[in-house]
């Protein structure tokens, strides 16, 4: 069972998606990557962290965004004390979600 809740799927075409999610306080989604899609993550409330396998964490506050290139291992994490809503805009190819472990 995923801790990430899909609230609304706004666009879903052959090569792009726009989806609103919510992540409970203190939880993280799984480590994953997308083989073709570039992902833009927009924080809509509270605070959100994006962890990368080969880089540091990017912390977002409401109104801020982060671009995640295709094939880059990452996870979305909520270290705040309240649930966080965020919008994911993906484009550039067919959707896939390839779970993997964090690279050492």
Residue whose tokens read 């990368």: 52
Give the pLDDT confidence of 59-103 residue by residue, as tens digits: 999 999 999 999 999 999 999 999 999 999 999 999 999 998 765
Fold entry, domain 5-99: Jelly Rolls (2.60.120)
- Write down the residue that tokens 């094939």 correspond to: 71
* Lookup result for tokens 């879903």: 12
**What residues does each domain of the chain span?**
5-99
Q: What is the layout of strands, in order, in the sheet containing 84-91?
A: 5-12, 16-23, 84-91, 38-43, 65-68
Tokens of 80: 């705040």
Name the pTM for this structure. Answer: 0.89
Q: What is the rounded distance in angstroms from the CA atom of residue 72 to the CA atom of residue 33?
A: 6
The pLDDT of residue 32 is above 80 = yes
């Amino acid at each position: 069972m995923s801790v990430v809740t899909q609230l609304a799927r706004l666009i879903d075409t052959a090569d792009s998606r726009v989806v609103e999610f919510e992540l409970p306080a203190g939880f993280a989604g799984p480590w994953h990557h997308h083989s073709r899609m570039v992902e833009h993550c927009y924080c809509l409330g509270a605070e959100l962290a994006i962890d990368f396998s080969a880089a540091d964490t990017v912390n977002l506050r409401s109104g801020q965004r982060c671009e995640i290139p295709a094939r880059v291992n990452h996870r979305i994490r909520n270290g705040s004390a309240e649930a966080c809503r965020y919008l994911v805009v993906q484009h550039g190819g067919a959707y896939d979600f390839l779970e993997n472990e964090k690279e050492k």
